[in-house]
Amino acid sequence: MARTPRHVFVPAWWEVKDGRWELRVPVNEHHWRPAAYADRSLVTRVGALHADRAKPDDHPTGRPTSSASLPSLVVRLFQHARIDDGVQLLNVGTGSGYGTALAAHRLGADAVTSIDIDPYLVDAARDRLATIGLRPTVEAVDGTGPLPEKFGQFDRIVATVAVRTVPAGWLAVLRTGGRLVTTIAGTSLILTADKRADGAAVGRVEWDGAGFMHARHGDNYPPGSSALLAAAHEIDGEDIATGRYPVIDIANAWDLDSMLGITAPGIEHAYLDEGHRRIAVMAHADGS
């Protein structure tokens, strides 16, 4: 980590201010360095608009679609993968390229392949990796589908995007005895699994948690129930049922959120703290 300049990979990002996304392009090192080297995620793409391509007066709408994950989380995933000398690694979800850079410094660039569905992210990450002397294989590929035969086999697969089920393509390129690490979409659960000789992979949910964006299959996520959540901010107080128990911000209560993500997938959450009352809204694309 000490040899990997994170600021190279995050020259601009998005932050929420007063309920809308605003561009952050630091004008000097005094503003840039604290954000770039803080242990937090930096959102780099909202909807279809990447911060690199945005103008100061742009205010995109929609869900975040790419970010530079917080460094400690990336390292934890590599630890769960039991990264060691001599392994060949597939990183699913290039994003900013920072995680790929960490892996390339640890294993050597020739041992690392990184893929992302977004061609712009791939090109930008490849260029930024080259500026610090790293040239791993970085290509635009849908990581949830069949993977190119030219990639060969891997000893480790680490995904920094969340999937609902483990793609068959991952098992096809994972060597027997190899290990995969991913998060289950709609939950904060980290799954590790080792491939057996019969082609299956068996593992466990780790005593750890992580939140990653869902794997995309195109330029943006399909429309969800976000309109319902937006309408919830205008809801009349008389229409809200009250109770004697504390109202939970479910999206940040990871154990509860994970339970709901398994038993009732597809819920989106909103949480409003108005000082004198707290309102939790749960909305689903089916209208409930």
Give the residue numbers marked as catalytic: 69
> Cα(66)–Cα(32) distance, rounded to whole angstroms?
19
How buried is residue 171: exposed, middle or buried, by Cβ count under 10 Å (0-12/13-18/19+)? middle
CB atoms under 10 Å from CB of 131, counted, come to 10
Q: Which two tokens stand for residue 237?
A: 């107080």
Using alpha carbons, select from 87, 40, 39, 47 the residue that is nearest to residue 66: 47
Taking the CA of residue 234 as centre, how many other CA atoms within 13 Å lie in the half-sphere pointing to its CB?
4
DSSP label of 28: S
Residues in the chain: 288
Q: Are 179 and 192 in contact (CB under 8 A)?
A: yes
Return the percent helix, strand and coil in the chain, to nearest 5: 30, 30, 40
Using alpha carbons, select from 62, 72, 117 the residue that is nearest to residue 93: 117
> Cα(113)–Cα(140) distance, rounded to whole angstroms?
11
> Cα(119)–Cα(93) distance, rounded to whole angstroms?
12
- Decide: helix, strand or coil at residue 34: helix
